[in-house]
Amino acid sequence: MLGYLEAINVATARCPVVIRLLAMVGLIVFFAHPASAQQTFVMGPLHGDLGVQAGFQWTDNIRNSTTNKQSDLSLLVGPTFNGGLTLPVHFGSAMGDEMTLNAGVSYSEQIGITSNYVTQSFSSPLGVNLMVPVRFGEWKATVGDTFSYDNVTLDNAVLPNQSQVAQYNNMASINFDRTFGKTELGFGAERKDIISSEPTISETDYQFSVTPALILRENYRLFWTTSYGLTFPEATDVTRQNVQSYNSEIGLSGQVTPYFNGQISIGYGLSHVEEKWLGPGQGVFAGIFNPNVLPSQWIGGPSFSMAGSYTHPLNPNTTYSFSVYDSPGVTALMESSSIQSVLGVTFSIAHRLTQNLTLAPTVSWTEVDSLAGPSTGQINDMITVGMMITRQFSKHLSLSAQYRYANQISNRPGLTFDVTVVTMQATYTF
């Protein structure tokens, strides 16, 4: 499946006309659908919602520039689909679980009204979950794959002076789990491919993990996760090195009170950045005795994460969510960096003003520090403030308005910028 998805990505990246054609066909099918049809269609094991979205977007800095900002007003239009496929499966047993294929697909054209650029965004989080009962005694297996593709601005703190960057992500995973009374044991393996038109953030990651857990009581779970990872940057990228990582965390998750659910974990991560030979250097004998080498090094530090969700007991329409995280070994975030440490905080509120009106503010801060590679010592701080209001007018029509401000502050010249985006969009589901 992974190779098939990579072929889809290559065709999409090289032939945007194909995506436009598919979108037009989809729109024709959607509009040809009778207006009196039910909101959710069912065709055998296939079910889902078809719709169309349209709106406007304004930004004051389409290229994430430090100076000479260029604003733009754009038209957004495209089809949407949310649905899935459910099939019973049997593997040598009279009992059978269901294989589910869930898809939330949206395609949109962003047409600049005050500028001369057009971008396409094709987002398709596709999930496949296969439960195999009684395959090895009491062991259960879950196979999954998710992928997405888009061709929009990465205004989240990595690439200034770029108006659009095509990026494709795919993750294939397999997990084995078994319960022994009040204890659990799980094994996991995953592969993640990040393919981008900017090679300095393209890479392939592998991760293998084992997680024993103890069920303390009905709503509490004590776990210990140990993982080993491999990171291979894009072969043509001479600025980054291969990385081996080791991480171990112990944590507690569960329902703390009837209104508060959370998880907390603490551990230690250790990464080995492998030596990379870039070619002969300068000097006698064509520099073969003085090669240009990115040295190997060990990088480690404590890791910490905490997340929670609280619903006010006197006002069940308001939910508060937060997360705090600190990791010493993250890749694919910063240009020309093999590995980075990341520290971040996010706080959000989802408040239903009425049954059909929801207000959702969000505030976040992230610090990314490059630890290896040519950009060693670079520190980027990103502050993001957002506000979204959603109004459901009917079971078919909804309207959303979103404000987002992001400010990146870097200790390297030319990498500090800020951008404001305002989006208004209507979605109609047939």
Report yes or no: 304 and 341 within 8 Å, Cβ to Cβ. no
Whether 388 shows a pLDDT value over 90: the answer reads yes
- Residue length, the chain? 430
Whether 177 shows a pLDDT value over 60: the answer reads yes
Written as six digits, the tokens of 315 are 């006002």
Report yes or no: 81 and 122 within 8 Å, Cβ to Cβ. no
Rounded CA gap, 371 and 338, in Å?
Answer: 8
Tell me yes or no: is domain 2-429 CATH 3.30.1050.
Answer: no
Measured distance between the N- and C-terminal CA atoms of the chain, rounded to whole angstroms: 31
User: pLDDT tens-digit profile of 61-90?
Assistant: 877 788 788 888 888 888 887 777 666 655
Put simply, whether the predicted model's pTM sits higher than 0.85 gets the answer no
- CA-wise closest residue to 338 among 249, 408, 234, 247: 234
Determine the residue type at 295. Answer: P
| Predicted pLDDT at 164 | 58
User: pLDDT tens-digit profile of 314-337?
Assistant: 777 889 999 999 998 888 777 778
Rounded CA gap, 181 and 258, in Å?
Answer: 25
Whether 176 shows a pLDDT value over 70: the answer reads yes
Written as six digits, the tokens of 387 are 């506000």
Among 40-49, 63-72, 181-190, whose mean pLDDT is lowest? 40-49
Count the Cβ atoms, other than its own, within 10 Å of residue 367.
17
**What are the extents of the domains in the chain?**
2-429
Rounded CA gap, 151 and 189, in Å?
Answer: 29
- CA-wise closest residue to 341 among 365, 369, 366, 364: 369
Report yes or no: 343 and 323 within 8 Å, Cβ to Cβ. no
Sequence-distant (6+) residues with CB within 8 A of 214 are 182, 183, 184, 221, 222, 223
